[in-house]
Amino acid sequence: MTFAARCRNITVPWGIVIALTFSLPASAVWADALKTFNPKAIADVPFVNGGLLVPSSPHGPNNRGVITDTTLPGMTHVECYLDWPRMEPEKDNWNDADFDAMLALSMTHGLKMLVLPCLCNPPEWMKSTSLFTPVLDSKTGEAANYFSPWAPGTYDAYDHFYDALASKYGAQIDIVKFPIEIGLIVSLAPGQLTGHKGFWCGDAYARADFRDRMLAKYGDLARLNAAWSTRFAVAADIVYPDRENRLNEPRRWVDFLTWYQESQTRAMVRELKVIRKHFPNILIDIPMGYGEDLQSDGCDRTGVPVAAAAFAPVDIRSTHAGFNRNRYPQAYWFYKRMAPTCHRMGIGFGTEPPGGNLSYSEMKRAIFEAASAGSNFIFQYFQNYHRTPSPGMTPHIIDNYKQTLRPFEPSLVDIGVLYPTTQQMLDLTGYPDDQLQFCAGGRGYFDYDLVDENMVEWNQLSRYRVIVQTSGTTYRDAVLPAFGKWLARGGALVTRGTPHWRDLTGQDKTAPWLNREDAAAEASLAIAGLHVYRDGKGSLYALDAPDVLLYLKGVVAVLTAVSASSPLHGFRAIDDGSWGTEFADGKLVCDSKTFETKFVAGAAK
């Protein structure tokens, strides 16, 4: 079932948009009518100076220094964290003098206010009310000081806060940041209590939601038992699967993780409804982050933008860019996990670094990658805005951004790299095997989008001429038939080894793709380890290459052959030491050593 289908029962007060998003067939999810809500000009891009904690902790010059000592020309907003327990220590008794001071000071310096209500950690008085249901570790029963996203009282509690905030400050707030990075429930706050990443869905509301959703998916208990090879006697017996047994019952495990992610998306929708009730028109900034892409984090990185589009104007802020100091740079890979879906849903895409100690050189790279992803929202820790090539120079980072950004403009890309969602759910690793290394090593040759299984089910394969697989052998039931149709229509699929891909029934669905081997093409291309198969109008290029860099070399050779008849957007056969990002009117070119970036004008072919 597609994400759109899973969410058809969600209702929000945006009739046309919700109809476009959740009622049309999957092929119509990308609606041009939605593309009207976000900055498309440099002058409108928020440059956010972060961040403040209100009330100040400690109450002193540090917060005010972010505004008074570090504001530069071009900064537009300051990000302010609103700590609910300290702002409302007693019900309806608001400690907001500090926020008043911050607002006044920000306005003096020409800065607008972006607020982040920190609501997941409730005040003590709230914990004693019927509105508070804590999350529970599903295995140990341990409780965390954290609202359950499944409990209905959670959203009444949030309504209390947003009502008070809007009543007093509605006209003075320009952007509201969603108060939690989607998926944070499993990855950070509660997990710190026990030192492990558990599944914090142990409360009664969560368990009931799981049972109801699974019964709705399969229709009745008999069909559920047949699909999972279980013997539940009554619906109340339905329980979560065991993580350690997931490879023995893959469908049940994938159903669980899919529900876990989808339930966090539904929780986001419920809270967005509350925010929109009190702030009907302003931009909502939705963060998605972490330094890994664990499927167990409860974050559907393409499903979230689809659901969020119903509440436009919104943007998705990537908060997991990393320092690019890891063995394989990961910032751009993360951007391309989410930005393509944001662009197609007509919502903004923003970037944020992991800290304030980036070097000037790292900032230049960050600017190029933000521009390549079509970013139209920029958050930087104030220290980074002040980086210069040498001490004593006037900071010009914001000017560099303005000269380089292509706000709300997707790059032209014909090459997709397959993100194997189901395999990642089974493996529970941070990244698909070898994919970071492949994408980082290949950037000198090609630009790319990451294409996950949602996108395949949403008929997005037709946007790409070539799909490259790096790993993964198990996929959702609907994914492999979609690939078969795309191949037959003329797609080019490059696989690492001869594909014997399975769906969750365990059946190999790729055999029909391998019926017609093209020995003449193999001889003509003369690529070591290459097998070429024809399927309808399409071609499958299977490369036997145990080493990922050898595989990359073979992929480049295949792409060169594919582009011979018609150039591939974003591809070149020779790495000349620069990275390129193609747009309709020209190309951004970044030196991969110095990170100096220039724009070369010229209409794309």
Span 499-514, mean pLDDT?
95
> Sorting pLDDT into bands at 50, 70 and 90, what band is 54?
confident
Q: Is 586 part of a structural domain of the chain?
A: no
> Sorting pLDDT into bands at 50, 70 and 90, what band is 323?
low
How many C-beta atoms surround the C-beta of residue 312 within 10 A? 20
Among 472, 481, 438, 436, which Cα is nearest to 452's?
472
> Sorting pLDDT into bands at 50, 70 and 90, what band is 197?
low
Report in angstroms the alpha-carbon separations of 286 from 236, 459, 603.
35, 25, 34
- Statement: residue 413 has pLDDT above 90: yes
Q: Is 0.85 topped by the overall pTM?
A: yes
327/216 Cα distance (integer angstroms):
44
> Sorting pLDDT into bands at 50, 70 and 90, what band is 193?
very low
Q: Give the pLDDT score at 154.
A: 96
- Statement: residue 34 has pLDDT above 90: no
> Sorting pLDDT into bands at 50, 70 and 90, what band is 315?
very high
- Statement: residue 281 has pLDDT above 90: yes
Span 165-175, mean pLDDT?
96
Q: What is the pLDDT of residues 511-567, one digit of tens each?
A: 999 999 999 999 999 999 999 999 999 999 999 998 999 999 999 999 999 999 999
Q: What is the pLDDT of residues 434-463, one digit of tens each?
A: 999 999 999 999 999 999 999 999 999 999
Paired sense of beta strands 578-583 and 586-591, if any: antiparallel
Distance from the first to the final alpha carbon of the chain:
37
> Sorting pLDDT into bands at 50, 70 and 90, what band is 83?
very high
Among 154, 156, 161, 176, which Cα is nearest to 280's?
176
* Owning domain of residue 11: 1-30
Q: Give the pLDDT score at 121.
A: 84
Q: Is 293 part of a structural domain of the chain?
A: no
Report in angstroms the alpha-carbon separations of 276 from 14, 284, 312.
10, 9, 10
Q: Is 498 part of a structural domain of the chain?
A: yes
Which ranges in 430-478 belong to alpha helices (H)? 435-442, 453-457
Span 127-147, mean pLDDT?
92
- Statement: residue 43 has pLDDT above 90: yes
Q: Give the pLDDT score at 185.
A: 61
307/304 Cα distance (integer angstroms):
5
Q: What is the pLDDT of residues 235-254, one digit of tens each?
A: 999 999 999 999 999 999 99
CA R_g for the chain: 25
- Statement: residue 350 has pLDDT above 80: yes
Q: Is 196 part of a structural domain of the chain?
A: no
Span 573-597, mean pLDDT?
97
Question: If you average pLDDT over every residue of the chain, what do you get?
Answer: 89
* Structural contact between residues 12 and 269, judged by C-beta atoms closer than 8 angstroms: yes
Counting residues of the chain whose pLDDT is more than 70, the rounded percentage is: 89
Half-sphere exposure of 333 (CA within 13 A, CB side): 26
What CATH number does residue 508 fall under? Answer: 3.40.50.880
Q: Give the pLDDT score at 146.
A: 87
- Statement: residue 184 has pLDDT above 70: no
> Sorting pLDDT into bands at 50, 70 and 90, what band is 324?
low
- Statement: residue 334 has pLDDT above 60: yes
Lowest mean pLDDT among 31-45, 82-96, 299-313: 31-45
Q: Is 453 part of a structural domain of the chain?
A: yes
The set of residues, in sequence order, having a beta carbon less than 8 Å from that of 7 and lying 6+ positions away, is 21, 22, 262, 265, 266, 269, 303, 306, 307
Q: How many domains does the chain have?
A: 2
Q: Is 423 part of a structural domain of the chain?
A: yes
Q: Give the pLDDT score at 237.
A: 98
- Statement: residue 195 has pLDDT above 90: no
Q: Is 251 part of a structural domain of the chain?
A: no
